[in-house]
Structure 1
Amino acid sequence: MKTRTNTSQIKDFNLVIFGGNGDLSKRKIIPALFHRFAAEQLNVEFDIYCVSRSPQDRDAFLKEIEGFLGNVDSKLVKTFFKRLKILVVPKNNAENYAEMKECLEANSNRQAIFYFSVPSGAFSEICTALKETGLSKENSKVVLEKPLGHSLKSSEEINNIIMSAFEERQVFRIDHYLGKETVQNLMVLRFANHLFERAWNAENIENIQITVAESLGVEKRAGYYDKTGALLDMIQNHLLQLLCLIAMEPPSSLNPDTVRNEKQKVLESLRPFTKETLATDIVRGQYTRGASNGDKLNSYLEDIDAYDSETETFVALKTYIDNWRWKNTPVYLRTGKRMKKRYSDIVINFKELPHNIFQDSQHALRNKLIIRLQPEERIELVQLSKIPGPGGYRFKPISLKLDFIDSFQDRMPDAYERLIMDVIRGNQTLFMRYDELASAWRWIESITDNWKKHTPLKLYESGTWGPGDDVMDDNTQWKTSPK
């Protein structure tokens, strides 16, 4: 029996997707809306307008989207597609927005959500056109995809453009990592379980590790990636946002600004890099030729068809959060392309017990909490347990696992489904406020201002784990992925 989801907080809406015929729209945004529609969570009046610069073959467009919906009811798909419309807008100006204005004003009681699934270079002309046509109203919302700049200065310029048409309360800066079930469960794990919250500090935790490893290369993103690199593509947003949820103080409530205030404090407490720590606590790498499962892999330079590039495809670093809770606790961040396997996880390594009464033990008396984000989502607590049978106190690490796929029979919603529903509801908790973004940029610029002088580019073989060991303290290792 299908469980109907509560729709009491959802209001009628019109969603306008700029870049509506693009890859993100077809693969993620529209399928997310369909699955919420199929789950009876969108039992309100709504229409979706896909903005394209050139005319589209509607049937071919819908067929392509259908290919990303999975095994679903075809009748339901047809019903959903009736709400999907294509708007051809050759240029972003008031004249070309006439049809859009007519469509939106036909249902002026609905909230208007503008999804900017386009490069940030187009934001200015879109915002100007929305203002000139009177479409940016009190009940409007805007969703922004990264990258939101390449520096603090460029980020400020983009924000000023957005603020010319919208207020901060209307802005939703999306980071799909924050929509993952295990990431959202971090809040419950930390603040609803006495066991963890009492031990969640420097007194009990040895170090924190966050890894986002990708087995693919740059693929079709060569032009974008060579101007960006791993630091700005992944650490500046995804990994720092994950760190905020791990390290933040308990908020007084789940009010969006209350939660984001605590995240902001973490970013402000990150220890800036110096010329000395750039030489010892961070490594940047670039993949060379290698092999995986018997297949030969190209180098980064071959993938971007260039003879030379200083762009990093791998970053590992050690940093600290300078506050009472996390005083002198190392935080390790690692991300890279063409690594051995694709996986993302957060590892909380607890300290070893102060005294070992098991003199013959072969395992350190410490626990670890593993929060796996992909490819599967699960939480794993590694503890020591006695091996059954005679022979004394022989024990080994055993994992207690909460596997979401095994534990819950319902289909697991995609991250975009959760985040888009939050946009419709107006819940900004999982979306970055601009002061968070600015703080992240200030910390990132303590790296980028000098790292090419003090952090040489290291080459690593495709299909390996990269040169991340260089930043680890003595007797500390990265937790590697499962087999």
Structure 2
Amino acid sequence: MSFDLVLFGGTGDLAWRKLMPALFQAFRHGTLPEGGRIIGVARDDLSHEQYRALIASRFGGVELAKRPSEDEFARFAAMLHFLRMDLSRPEDYARLSSMLNERQADTVVMYVATAPSLFTTVCEQLASAGLNQPQVRIVLEKPLGHDLASNRAINETVRHSFQEKQVFRIDHYLGKPSVQNLFALRFGNALFEPLWRRENISNIQITIAEDLGVEKRGAFYDQTGALRDMVQNHALQLLCAIGMEPPINAHADAIRDEKLKVLRSLKPWTAETLSQHVVRGQYTAGGVNGTAVPGYREESGVDPQSRTETFVALRTEIANWRWAGVPFYLRTGKRLASRDARIVVTFRPAPHAIFKAPMGAANRLVINLQPRDGLELHLLAQGQDNRRNAQSLSPVQLDLDFDRRFGSERVGAYERLLLDVIDGRLNLFVRSDEQEEAWRWVEPILDAWKSDAQGPRPYVAGTWGPSASSAMIAREGLCWSEEA
């Protein structure tokens, strides 16, 4: 199968940091279809050879095991091409059309890795140039919009230009091996489904923690914040994967229908729950991994008086028969104590205790997303240290490390998703009604913050966020997983 992948923003941060390494790994693994072209598009004045040299230089920042040898890159570089374009000029899209018409590829992928403000322009111009034919697929990066109204406006423009089956709204967390295995764990095994309900589960925590700051994205991040950047998409998609009902089959719309039901079942916000169950924070100067780091307001591109949140913690519920009354805790932030993304499902204790167990010990299923992928099942058992007291239990765990079990050369998130786009598989991509429902749910939080004179609570870089986050969960006699 021949394909052309047009990468708008072909010299940008996402292109060289994520997309090109992912495409190269697919090439190395032999899964990238032969006869393909990767066409970088940007305003830079580059030849094909200069673009290839630029991409080669960026591979120096990739981890050693994933760097190409000279011979490998030479073969991969033969696929790389470059086209100078001003995305506002119709004549430049005509030049792109001519380049694509040099051969009739079976599939044409338009990957829009640009500022969200350009999404509608690109879609409209592609349609005007006739570049929305059935073999064309368009990939849109998050965030899609700044609020519900802007998201609807973008989706409306996209709908006028492309059919829904041509649109791939990407959320790279859905491509992570551990998230894919979460679907397999739930719907491919009979073990957990009878337990996966309110009668057996005490609470669920979803944490996406980063030890990095805003890096070179200060100006962008200051207009976005943690709620838009992480909660509205990544965190809510993980919540859907945990909370959804079994789909009738593995087809894309069957899966996305069930995720949509979860989003529509989330408890709506009230003034009381907004004040009690949502915490926002902003990091101040501190230390991460033994290195002093500046506060958020001292970062390049950030307003010195910024009220943008770099941390969010919240409590919600899915108001349906399966989950009624079970708290879901979501937490994400920058400059936290470590890079750690995980889902922790805590089960209720045995109804009648006949053994002695350590205080706070519980059965837990932990789905690790980063820095390593894997599953942990925490149980209680009688260990060697309990030989004199047969009625005492100790915590033990069953640990499935995906790197050790399946090898470190497993398909990465972007690699998997890019291959799915080329093959036309929509299962791991977000539908427009899902996205709009997620915006509808977070919008009352954004509105409340506009009138909140207090602003985000400060927390020292290198900690786990503001103390109000721990206080929120402690009110129900719980603690965050790293404190357990």
TM-score, length basis structure 2:
0.93
- Kindly report the root-mean-square deviation, in angstroms, between the aligned alpha carbons of the 2 structures: 1.8
Greater mean deviation of Cα atoms: 57-66 or 208-217: 57-66
Number of the residue aligned with 1:194? 190
Deviations 1:170-190 (A, max 9, x none): 000000111100000011101
Aligned-pair identity in percent equals 44
Give the count of matched residue pairs: 471
- Sort the Cα spacing of 1:59 and 1:270 in 2 relative to 1 into closer, same or farther, 3 A: closer
Deviation at 1:409, TM superposition (A): 2.6
Number of the residue aligned with 1:102? 98
Deviations 1:56-101 (A, max 9, x none): 2335313224335634343232111111101011343331223321
Separation in 1, partners of 2:414, 2:253: 21
Number of the residue aligned with 1:26? 16
Separation in 1, partners of 2:2, 2:61: 25
TM-score, length basis structure 1:
0.94
Number of the residue aligned with 1:326? 323
Deviations 1:232-284 (A, max 9, x none): 11000000000000000000100100000000000000001111111111111
Deviation at 1:334, TM superposition (A): 0.3
The AA in structure 2 aligned to 1:457 is P
Deviation at 1:481, TM superposition (A): 8.1
Give the one of 6, 25, 37 matched to 1:16: 6
Give the one of 250, 256, 259 matched to 1:260: 256
Deviation at 1:410, TM superposition (A): 5.2
Number of the residue aligned with 1:466? 465
Number of the residue aligned with 1:442? 440
Deviation at 1:123, TM superposition (A): 2.0
- Sort the Cα spacing of 1:91 and 1:41 in 2 relative to 1 into closer, same or farther, 3 A: closer
The AA in structure 2 aligned to 1:58 is Y
Separation in 2, partners of 1:251, 1:91: 40
Number of the residue aligned with 1:423? 421
Separation in 2, partners of 1:398, 1:239: 28
Greater mean deviation of Cα atoms: 250-259 or 365-374: 365-374
Greater mean deviation of Cα atoms: 46-55 or 106-115: 106-115
Number of the residue aligned with 1:476? 478
- Checking the alignment, whether the CA contact within 8 Å between 1:278 and 1:451 is kept in structure 2 is no
Separation in 1, partners of 2:168, 2:291: 41
- Checking the alignment, whether the CA contact within 8 Å between 1:341 and 1:481 is kept in structure 2 is no
What residue ranges of structure 2 are gaps of 5+ in the alignment? none
The AA in structure 2 aligned to 1:275 is A
Number of the residue aligned with 1:63? 56
- Checking the alignment, whether the CA contact within 8 Å between 2:7 and 2:113 is kept in structure 1 is yes
Does residue 251 (structure 1) correspond to residue 247 (structure 2)? The answer is: yes
- Checking the alignment, whether the CA contact within 8 Å between 2:361 and 2:395 is kept in structure 1 is no
Separation in 2, partners of 1:73, 1:439: 46
Greater mean deviation of Cα atoms: 53-62 or 340-349: 53-62
Number of the residue aligned with 2:25? 35
2:345 is paired with a residue of what secondary structure?
strand
Separation in 2, partners of 1:13, 1:36: 14
Give the one of 118, 122, 128 matched to 2:118: 122
Separation in 1, partners of 2:222, 2:408: 40
The AA in structure 2 aligned to 1:100 is L
1:352 is paired with a residue of what secondary structure?
coil
Deviation at 1:425, TM superposition (A): 1.0
Number of the residue aligned with 1:177? 173
Greater mean deviation of Cα atoms: 153-162 or 119-128: 119-128
Deviation at 1:341, TM superposition (A): 0.8
Separation in 2, partners of 1:267, 1:309: 30
1:259-408 to structure 2, matched below 5 A, reads 259-304=255-300, 306-358=303-355, 360-364=356-360, 366-388=362-384, 390-393=387-390, 394-408=392-406
What residue ranges of structure 1 are gaps of 5+ in the alignment? 1-10
- Checking the alignment, whether the CA contact within 8 Å between 1:343 and 1:481 is kept in structure 2 is no
Number of the residue aligned with 1:5? none
1:480 is paired with a residue of what secondary structure?
helix
Deviations 1:287-310 (A, max 9, x none): 112223443221111115543121
1:99 is paired with a residue of what secondary structure?
helix
1:44-59 to structure 2, matched below 5 A, reads 44-56=34-46, 57-59=50-52
Greater mean deviation of Cα atoms: 387-396 or 459-468: 387-396
